[in-house]
Chains A and B, each alone.
Chain A
Amino acid sequence: MSDEPREAFEQLAPQLGAAAVARLDIEATAAGVVQRLRADVRPWWRNGLIRLAAVMVVVLGAGVLVRSAVVERRPTVAVVSAPPELQNLAVSQLEEMLDSLELERPVADLVRPGLNDLTTSELEQLLATMEG
């Protein structure tokens, strides 16, 4: 490249964009941007989704508070697992057992019963089943 065009370019370069700069109204542009931004910013309570979420948080929080208060006041009942002897009984048998508990029969009466504890009619009945 010769020196002439190069010099011409160097003289033209500072003038590039000068017309565009002259057309710019910076203050008016900034005022417009600020005005648009202000128009977009609404208070959060005017946003439907946020309002719904806030209502849900309040309702759930209230529910948790009420529940904890009720549960704390409710008397706790200790759940005792049934002994193995009871776990295979049918409902009717368990009802029978409940009835028999109400009798409050002396424990000593039912400790290791043997033939000596049977009446004569019970012994006869037992003998009949063994002979059969």
Chain B
Amino acid sequence: MSHRELGVLVGLLLVAAPAAAQGQRPVRDSLQARVMNQFLQNYRRAAQLSGEQMLKTQDVLRRSFHERNQLGENERGVWQALEDQLRPGVAANADSLAKLLDTVVGLQEEQVAQARREQAAYAEFLTPVQRALLTIELRRLQMRVEQMMQNRARPPMRPGG
């Protein structure tokens, strides 16, 4: 392969990789939307929601997921920074660590506050039984996601195990 052919190939790869990644995005978005739609349909059946309740639930859920994603992003950033501070061979900055730890606790408090706000919002149009069902179903969905992430991280089986 000549240098010119190699250059063309590398150029094609550089262009093709981001394009392929961008092509994945609509597929992911569509799949996420389908998952959420299916979740709502299942919940509507279980909780026997009216049309109005369904619309309001959908609205609060959308806002709640957006806030949760934001909080999750922030929390990951803080944990990442904490781990960076404690890398072997790197002198940890005590002040930075103390601030980061305070931030972790602050974010956990924010999660609790968010959960309270969500329950208050649902309480305006859902009965306690419907709210309990929704909370349980959301927890189940979260556990499935976590299980999938953990399966991905599972180490190879031990020999003979």
Which residue numbers of A lie inside 8 Å of B, CB to CB? 95-96, 99-100, 102-103, 105-118, 120, 122-127, 129-131
- B148 interface residue, CB < 8 Å from A? yes
Cβ-closest chain B residue relative to A123: B31
Q: Are B80 and A108 in contact, with the CB atoms below 8 A?
A: yes
Q: Which of A105, A120, A125, A129 has the most CB of B within 10 A?
A: A120
Summarize B's interface: helix, strand, loop or mixed. helix
- B38 interface residue, CB < 8 Å from A? yes
Q: What residues of chain B lie closer than 8 Å to A126, measured between beta carbons?
A: 35, 144-145, 148
Q: What residues of chain B lie closer than 8 Å to A115, measured between beta carbons?
A: 32, 35-36, 145
Which residue numbers of B lie inside 8 Å of A, CB to CB? 24, 27-28, 31-32, 34-36, 38-39, 42, 65, 68-69, 71-72, 75-77, 79-80, 82-83, 142, 144-146, 148-150, 152-155, 158, 161
Partner of A100 from the list B28, B38, B154 (CB cut-off 8 Å) is: B154
CA of A120 to CA of B136 in the docked complex: distance in angstroms?
25
Given the interface pairs A108-B76, A114-B69, the reply to whether A130 lies near B35 with Cβ below 8 Å is: yes
Q: What residues of chain A lie closer than 8 Å to B69, measured between beta carbons?
A: 114, 116
- 28 A-B pairs, CB-CB below 8 angstroms? A96-B154, A99-B158, A103-B153, A106-B83, A107-B82, A108-B80, A109-B153, A110-B150, A111-B75, A111-B79, A112-B72, A112-B76, A113-B146, A114-B145, A115-B32, A115-B35, A115-B145, A116-B32, A118-B149, A123-B32, A123-B35, A124-B31, A126-B144, A126-B145, A126-B148, A127-B31, A127-B38, A130-B35
Given the interface pairs A112-B72, A127-B35, A127-B38, the reply to whether A107 lies near B145 with Cβ below 8 Å is: no
Q: Other CB < 8 Å A-B pairs besides A107-B79, A127-B35, 10 of them? A: A100-B154, A103-B155, A108-B83, A111-B76, A112-B71, A113-B72, A114-B145, A120-B31, A126-B145, A130-B38
CA of A84 to CA of B142 in the docked complex: distance in angstroms?
20
Q: What residues of chain B lie closer than 8 Å to A114, measured between beta carbons?
A: 65, 68-69, 72, 142, 145
Cβ-closest chain A residue relative to B28: A120
CA of A4 to CA of B21 in the docked complex: distance in angstroms?
152
- Tell me the minimal C-beta distance from B150 to chain A in angstroms: 8
Q: Which of A105, A113, A127 has the most CB of B within 10 A?
A: A113
Q: What residues of chain B lie closer than 8 Å to A130, measured between beta carbons?
A: 35, 38-39, 42
Q: What residues of chain A lie closer than 8 Å to B155, measured between beta carbons?
A: 96, 99-100, 102-103
Q: Which of A102, A114, A127 has the most CB of B within 10 A?
A: A114
Q: Are A106 and B71 in contact, with the CB atoms below 8 A?
A: no
Q: Are B145 and A127 in contact, with the CB atoms below 8 A?
A: no
Q: What residues of chain B lie closer than 8 Å to A123, measured between beta carbons?
A: 28, 31-32, 35
Q: Which of A103, A115, A116 has the most CB of B within 10 A?
A: A115
- Tell me the minimal C-beta distance from A116 to chain B in angstroms: 6
